Amino acid sequence: MNASFHVLDTHTGGELTRVLLAPEIGLQPGSPREQLDQLRTRLDWVRVALTSEPRGTPFAVGAVVTPPVQSTETIGQSSTADGDSWNVIFFNNVGYLGMCGHGLIGVVEALRHQQRIDTGQHVFQTPAGRVTAQLEPDGQVTFTGVESYCYQHDVQVSLADGSQVTGDIAYGGNWFFLVAHPDVASDSIESLSRRCQQIRDAIDRDQIRGEDGAIIDHIELCGRLQPGESVGPHGQETAGCHSFVLCPGGHFDRSPCGTGTSAKLASLAARGKLEPGQTWIQQSVTGNRFLARYTPARRGVFVTLTGKAHVIAETRQIMDPDDPLRLGLGS
Ligand code: PYC
């Protein structure tokens, strides 16, 4: 176990991303899937320590980043070749994520802050696939994620209180159950969280799954934008929704959730409710917005999404061998 390693914290619309470099924790180079395997089997203590008390928080998403093989120097204007790509593995308080949109924006901002990348395009490999990100001079990040698709429409679920909900099962880098909920903007966080938890319990009870038996670990409620909120970046009337996403570990995403936005656009596209290239506003309960659009793909869509992260802390995490709680309470 490394005695100490460096962590850079960012937030995207209030959602935390803790960014660390693979070599500092002894993660060997490899494909994202090989590295995911190493993290699960040999280095899971890093995830546990950074997402539990006293050093961490269950609200954090972590990102373990491996620099491109060619160079660890600043990558300039246009590093679009896959040889220059960064590997990123995302984790949370209960496990590992295929992709994470707010986290990817946080990683780009962290690498910019450390002067490891410059403005321009950069390529990231994640366990879910290849993602390209464009860093603008004002810090805005626009990325195109993995292919997103709607797997099943109008799936009926009976909740424990006897009520019924109908939702779409869609993939956006993670698996989502998407339910219309007109009052997202006015309901309390407690009530939205309870609703999502009831849906998740019912899905688990009925073993409703994504493709190939994939667990649907994110629940997304989508409601109406409020008057005045549907004004797009150029002052034009723009389609969109207020969304609330319950994450696998039980906390809600403070950001509009990048993979959740991608799943939403896949669902809208499959229903013919949004045109390719049309701008979509996805707004979280913190008021933070992602602007998204899609291009059609073989099976579903490629979603391109813009957001911004900020660096909030830089720490050296110390693993004192004499500290019985160095790996977190309960470990
Ligand atoms: O932004 O994709 C996302 C995400 C997933 C879980 C938390 N945020």
- Contact of 261 with 172, CB cutoff 8 Å: yes
The tokens for 9 are 């914290």
Per-residue pLDDT of the chain (331 residues; tens, 9 = 90+): 768 999 999 999 999 999 999 999 999 999 999 999 999 999 999 999 999 999 999 999 999 999 997 544 443 334 445 668 999 999 999 999 999 999 999 999 999 999 999 999 999 999 999 999 999 999 999 999 999 999 999 999 999 999 999 999 999 999 999 999 998 999 999 999 999 999 999 999 999 999 999 999 999 999 999 888 898 888 889 999 999 999 999 999 999 999 999 999 999 999 999 999 999 999 999 999 999 999 999 999 999 999 999 999 999 999 999 999 999 997 7
Residue closest by Cα to atom 8 of ligand 1: 257
- Contact of 22 with 87, CB cutoff 8 Å: yes
Print burial letters for 117-147: b (CB count within 10 Å at least 16), e (below 16). Answer: bbebbbbbbbbbeebbbbbeeebbbbbbbbb
| Closest atom, ligand 1, to C-alpha of 103 | 1
Cα 105 to middle of ligand 1, angstroms: 10
- For the Cβ of 100 lying below 6 angstroms from any atom of ligand 1, the answer is yes
| Closest atom, ligand 1, to C-alpha of 172 | 2
What's the rounded Cα separation, in Å, for the pair 216 and 171?
Answer: 9
Cα 246 to middle of ligand 1, angstroms: 10
